Each structure stands twice: as C-alpha cells, then as structure tokens.
Amino acid sequence: MSTDPTVYNHTGSGPARGRIRVLQLYPRDMNIYGDWGNLLTLARRGQWHGYDVELHSYNPGDEMPQEVDLVLGGGGQDSGQERIKDDLVQIGPRLRQWAADGVPMLVICGLYQLFGHRFVTGERSEIPGIGLLDAETVAGSGRLIGNIVLDSPEFGRVVGYENHSGLTTLGPGAEPLGTVRSGAGNNGKDGAEGARFKHVIGTYLHGPILPKNPAVADWLLQRAVELRSGAWDPLPIDDADARRASNVAASRPR
C-alpha cells in the first residue's frame, strides 16, 4: 500500500519554479533523534526557494515511485534495521540505479550503515546492506554519543549529534563527508565521518543535521533541481537562527 504524496506548495507569488519529489525511506522504523527535521527542512527551504515539494513516504511493502528527485533516510535501532532489511535488499537495485544516475540522497546512521555492504550487530548477526556505499560496519563494545563537529571540504563546518554502536570503515570507493574536529565519527579512530559517492551522503549526524547545516540542505536541493535540467537560482534565506543553533551545539561538551 502507498499513501498519496503530501505536497508543500511554494511560498511567494506567481507560479512555482518547479516540483521536487522527495522519497522518505522507512519513516515508521528509521526515524530517530530528530531525523524527521531533515524532511521538514528540505520541504521548507524548497518552498522558500520557490518550488513545490512533493513528499512520498515509503515503508516496507509499499510501491516505489517510478522516479524521484531526492531520497532521504533516517536512523533507527538495530531492531528497526532488522524490520526493514529484507525490503531494503529488494529495492536496493533501484536505489543503486538512481544513485548512479545522480539522484541526491541523504541517509543517516542506521540507513547509512545499510547503504554500505553490511552491519554486523553486537550479537554477531549480519544485516546485509545494499552496497551503494563502499563502507562496512561492525558493532563496537560501547556507544558513541554526543554532539559532533566536522570539517567538510565542500560544506565547511558541519554540526550534528551522534549515537551509535556501529564502527564504520570506508573502502576506496567512498570519500568521507568530513574530518572529525570533535566527536567520534565513523569509528572514533581514523578521523573520518560519513561517506560520499556521487550525490549520495551517508552520515552518523542526527540532531537533525539539515536545520543546523543549511548548506547541506541547499546542496541536496540544488542537485535535485539540476538533475531534471533546471538551473539552480536560489532565493536569499535568513539563516541567522540556523547559525545560532549550530554554534550552540558546537560549543556544548559531549
């Protein structure tokens, strides 16, 4: 079963500059530590930039839309990952094809892990991933929890909140999202955080990440618009509140 998409109409006068179709993966099982705020940020900023934003929610067994412009996925506990794992493997080929075609994607923590090759849980059971990102994850003995600050070559400072047991290692086919300035990141050892492939970003940053890091949100929207051969011509947005939130989170101890 699939529900009808929710449409967030553009703000401002005149016709919309276009329509951005966002697919949110597994909001029922994979959506914690504020991840829903990523969707709201994309919808809101898309509206402010003059676009209608169409949200498709996808849960296990739903029908996948034929075409989308942006894919979003959140984190979840190991139990949530267990619930969606079979379905994810089934839709994996479609997601890999979209990624190869340049569809922008943002996946957080639990789905970041399953966009890699596998996640080996604390009980040593293996949850297969879809291998869209060249990364694999093995549960560590403790949890890595707290605010985290990165330096990203593309986005500058990126601030978020992490809470994971999984330790992720990247293969040669993935670039990190950034270097950890404070916090643990992928594994607490090599200084890398997240993974990049084409227009796909996997990261441990909850919080949610996008309201505090509007450059990442606008990058995803830009990729989505350009994918359908539209020119990206953003409207000015006052990001003072986003900057304040990011500064407060960055200054707080773990």
109 is catalytic: yes
Annotated catalytic residue: which of 10, 56, 117, 206?
206
**Distances, alpha carbon 155 to alpha carbons 68, 149, 219, 220, 231, in Å:** 24, 12, 9, 12, 20
Least CB distance to ligand GLN at residue 18 (A):
32
Specify burial of residue 236 (Cβ count, 10 A radius: 0-12, 13-18, 19+): exposed
Binding site for ligand GLN (CB under 6 A): 32, 75-78, 81, 109-110, 163-166
Torsion sign across C-alpha atoms 54, 116, 34, 176: negative
Residue nearest ligand GLN, CB atom distance: 75
Annotated catalytic residue: which of 109, 117, 164, 199?
109
Contact 234, 218 (CB under 8 A): yes
In the structure encoding, which two tokens stand for residue 68, read together? 């989308």
Question: In whole angstroms, what is the distance from residue 175 CA to residue 189 CA?
Answer: 16
Least CB distance to ligand GLN at residue 160 (A):
11
Least CB distance to ligand GLN at residue 156 (A):
24
75 vs 208, which CB is nearer to ligand GLN? 75
Q: Which residues are annotated as a binding site for substrate?
A: 143
CA distance between the termini of the chain: 42
Question: In whole angstroms, what is the distance from residue 217 CA to residue 221 CA?
Answer: 6
109 vs 225, which CB is nearer to ligand GLN? 109
47 vs 81, which CB is nearer to ligand GLN? 81
The Cβ-side half-sphere exposure at 160, using a 13 Å CA radius, reads 34
Least CB distance to ligand GLN at residue 49 (A):
29
49 is catalytic: no
Q: Which residues are annotated as a binding site?
A: 143
11 vs 163, which CB is nearer to ligand GLN? 163
**Residues annotated as catalytic (active site), given as ranges:** 109, 206
